[in-house]
Structure formats: structure tokens, C-alpha cells
Amino acid sequence: MQRALFSRSALLAQQAAAALDSPLAARGAPLLQRLERSMSSVTIPPPACMLRPLEVPNRYLFGPGPSNVPPRILAAQGRPIIGHLHPEMYEIMNDIKRGIQYIFQTENNLTIAMSGSGHAAMECAVFNTVEPGESVLVAVNGIWGERVAEIAERMDIDILYSGSQKALNSPPGTAPISFNERACDKMFNRKTKPVSYLFDMTHLSNYWGCDGQPARVYHHTGPVSGFFALREGLAIVAEKGLEASWKKHKDVASYLYRGLEDLGLKLFIPDRDLRLPSVTTIAIPDGYNWRELLAYIMKHHQMEMTGGLGPSIGMVMRIGLMGYNCEETKADMALHALADALKNCKKSKV
């Protein structure tokens, strides 16, 4: 039955492709389509967009993530996939666990990568450690604090998470997360089950071989290619060395600060020590429309910079130079694009 369905849709796709190529296509198409429809149980034809090749522009991703993915990581992600429960996959997951322990500088045994973006890790942290009726203390200093406050009621537990798409330069879709003993005590002694099955650490700790059980059992189908890419991103940091990587981000950020100040721009965080070396926030220059500046930079330089999020929307523009993008040459490109935008975007009256 399934095979019949597959071959029928393949035939339809072929017919649609042939119809598009045919010189008689324009004249014959409506009749052909009616004929095909009457012969087929498929009522929705293959969408025309699916019959065109995928088009993806080349862009410089100088926002807060995703950042550009280096060829080495793209190649890792393009390797033939294997089963999510194959022993070799478990080895790769074990490597990922060690790599995350290194970048997080933790010996926490319960250290894994979520199958999902940063939000998956954020929700996993809350769903597993908070039970109904508990109260939560959340430090709200931006959009992520606001979101945690929205979904949580109690969180004074040591959990660390990130996303794959930032300084690790892997594609979005996996998220390192690590729980300390105190968090484990809380999670594994709860009275109620977490609301999410996918994010339930009782299952995930087994899937990642962190629960001391001899066998890992099926919980969900992990993003195999995403894990290949994440492993490669972690390997690059391990080869470079964490301290060298921190220093490089600081040095390139200082270089960028000088360039921004030379352009007459003001950094949003006056205290240098409070600034993130990976993402720099710039106060919107007086009289400019930030959306116009960002759109100009995208259109003329194929470069993504972003505005603020949540409470900082309309107040800042953000430049992220992370991992692979963390080079003075890339900072120069960003500065050049900004200078061009400042020159050419008319000062708005608003």
C-alpha cells in the first residue's frame, strides 16, 4: 500500500516535470491536470516550488547566531548517516559528552546534547527541575530571563546550556546541557513526572549513557547528522584550546570596539567588563532608523547583523563574531558594511 502511494506520487511528479518541459505544456496543461486528477486518488498536486532546485544565498552571518558553518563541519554533517542506536553512534555521543564537559569546564556526569534548539535545553531545565506548586526565582535581564519566568516557577539549581549554532559554528538544532549533582537530586526525586516526555531526563540520561545502566534503550530518534556536526564543532574547540579561543574572542572584540568608536558609534554597554566578547551591542546612532541600516547591510553586503530582542528591541544593533567568524578580517568587513550603511542611509526624521 505504502509502495503504491510512493510510486503514484513519483509518477505524478514525473508527469508534472514532463508537462513543464513540454512545448505543448501551456496549451495542454489544464486538460492534462484534469485527466491526471480523475485517474488518481491524489488530489493535491506536487507544489511547483518543490520541482525547483533548492536555492540558498551565501551570507555572512554576523548576528547572534546562527554563525557561518565552516566547510569542515558541513562535511561532517554531510557524512552518510547511521542508525541512532548503532554502537558507533553511541561512541560519537560519548565523544560529544566529553566535548561539552570540556567547553563547559565541568565534570558533571549528566552532560548531553538535546535534540532541539536552545529552547529545548531551556525547557528541559525547567520541566525537569520544577514541579507544580513550587515557586521560582528568575533573574530577568533580557528576553531569555523573561521567557524562563514565563515557563517556570522555581529554579535555583545549577544547570548550564547553550545552542550549537553560536561559537561552536554547528548548524542549529542541537543544544549542549549539563546538570550538577544538586540538579540531579532534585530531578530524580520528584513526585510527579515532567510534563514533557521528549525532555524527560530520566529517559535522556539513559539515551546518553549517563545513568550507569548497561543498555541504552530507544527514547527518540536523535538528529544523527546534527550530532556529527556538533561533534566536529566541539573537536575544533578542543584542538584550538578553550583558553586560546576565549582570548581570540576578547582580542577580536577589542579590535571591533575600536573600529566602532572610530566610526563615531557608541557601545550600548559602557562597562567593558560587562560586555560579551562574542556579541557586541551598539546603541542605535541618533536619527538613524535601525531597520533601514540592517536592511541596507543585508542588501548591499549580504551580511546579517541584527537588532535587539525583547526589552532591547529598537535600542541596539548586534554584531556577533563567533568561532569561525571570529577574525579581525571579518571585523573589518562588518565595519566596512556599517560605515557604508551610515553614509548611505538617510538620517530618518523619526
Ligand X SMILES: Cc1ncc(COP(=O)(O)O)c(C=O)c1O
Minimum separation from the CB atom of position 168 to ligand X (A): 12
Residue from 61, 67, 69, 163 touching ligand X (CB under 6 A): that is 163
Among 144, 188, 255, 268, contact with ligand X (rule: CB under 6 A)? 144
Q: How far apart are CA 212 and CA 215, in angstroms?
A: 9
Closest separation in Å from C-beta 302 to ligand X: 22
Phi first, then psi: give them for residue 131, nearest 5 degrees: -110, 155
Q: How far apart are CA 89 and CA 87, in angstroms?
A: 5
Type of residue found at 28? G
Rank residues 205 and 278 by Cβ distance to ligand X and give the closer one. Answer: 278
Q: Are 138 and 152 within 8 A, CB to CB? A: yes
Of 209 and 233, the one with the shorter C-beta distance to ligand X is 233
Question: Which C-beta is closer to ligand X: that of 8 or that of 119?
Answer: 119
**Smallest separation, CB 50 to ligand X (Å):** 27
Contact 286, 350 (CB under 8 A): no
Residue from 117, 206, 254, 289 touching ligand X (CB under 6 A): that is 117
Give one word for 176, left, alpha or beta, with left for phi > 0 and alpha for psi -120 to 50.
Answer: beta
Question: Do the beta carbons of residue 350 and residue 318 sit within 8 Å?
Answer: no
- Cα gap 148→203, rounded to integer Å: 23
Strand order in the sheet with 174-179: 110-115, 174-179, 159-161
**Residue 59, marked binder:** no
Least distance in angstroms from the C-beta of 173 to ligand X: 8
Which is closer to ligand X, CB of 171 or CB of 259? 171
119 contacts ligand X (rule: CB under 6 A): yes
Please report, as residue ranges, which positions from 38 to 77 form the binding site for ligand X (by CB under 6 A).
64-65
Strand pairing class (60-61; 303-304): parallel
Q: Which is nearer to ligand X, 16 or 167 (CB)?
A: 167
Write the interaction track for ligand X spanning residues 218-257; mark x where CB under 6 A is met and - where it is not. Answer: ----------------------------------------
DSSP 3-state of 192: coil
CB of 94 to ligand X, least distance (A): 24
> In the complex with ligand X, which residue's Cβ is closer, 162 or 205?
162
Joined grid coordinates for residue 114 = 538535546
Sole binder of ligand X in the list 63, 99, 118, 226 (CB under 6 A): 118
Minimum distance, C-beta of residue 325 to ligand X, in the bound complex (Å): 16
CA dist 77 → 121, 210, 224, 253 (Å) = 21, 25, 9, 29
Q: Residue 2: helix, strand or coil by DSSP?
A: helix
Q: Count residues binding ligand X (CB under 6 A).
A: 9
Measure the CA–CA gap between 318 and 320, rounded to whole angstroms: 6
| Residue whose CB is nearest to ligand X in the complex, by number | 118
Query: Closest distance between ligand X and the C-beta of residue 25, in Å?
Result: 43
Using the rule CB under 6 A, give the single segment among 20-28, 118-126, 196-204, 209-217 that binds ligand X.
Answer: 118-126
| Amino acid at the residue 53 | P
Q: CB–CB of 220/71 below 8 Å? A: no
Binding residues for substrate, as ranges, are 318
Q: Which residues bind ligand X (CB under 6 A)?
A: 64-65, 117-119, 122, 144, 163, 172
Binding residues: 318
